[in-house]
A = this chain, B = another copy of it.
């Protein structure tokens, strides 16, 4: 009976996850305001009205997608920090994880990057918290790197963090449409360029 209950629950959960996936895919392709709930329902093979069995509102779907996108990244950062690696190793690890996430959960990251501002203020709390947290952890990694003398002393840490996150998030714009480009090549070059620069 406990087994049956958990099976039942997991059936709903599976379907709920499929709904969030569908929302992520549609939001990523057309943007939150650029799509209708019909599009999401169609991708799930159900009718528009049925979607509200899983989401209280379209906004709730957006929140779920964004939260999942940033939470995965934040959790990874927290784990990474506990390992106390060098700055260069941290950058390589973060770049690798980000690009792998882009390939496996690209829609979530794209939606977080592009549409998180469309979450209404009263619902934005959790997403803001996670992304603020992510930012703080990155700042921490950079600050530590500079204190240890790994990062050039003259660099402003905030600008550096912004530049690095910008580099990563920009990858989400083209990575998906260029399957030719090899993941490892991008990874190596991003890390190399960011750490050591483009010129000799």
Q: Please give the residue numbers on chain A whose beta carbons come within 8 Å of chain B beta carbons, in ascending order.
A: 31-34, 87-88, 91, 114, 118, 145, 149-152, 155-156, 158-160, 162-167, 169-171, 173-174, 181, 185-186, 189-190, 192-200
Interface residues of chain A: helix, strand, loop or mixed (majority): helix
In the assembled complex, the Cα of A145 lies from the Cα of B197 at a distance in Å of: 14
| Least CB distance, A98 to chain B, in whole angstroms | 12
The answer to whether A151 touches B199, judged by C-beta atoms less than 8 angstroms apart, is yes
B166 near A173 (CB under 8 angstroms)? yes
Q: What residue in chain B is nearest A158 (Cβ atoms)? A: B181
Write the nearest CB–CB distance from A55 to chain B, whole angstroms. 19
**Complex contact A198–B152 (CB within 8 A):** yes
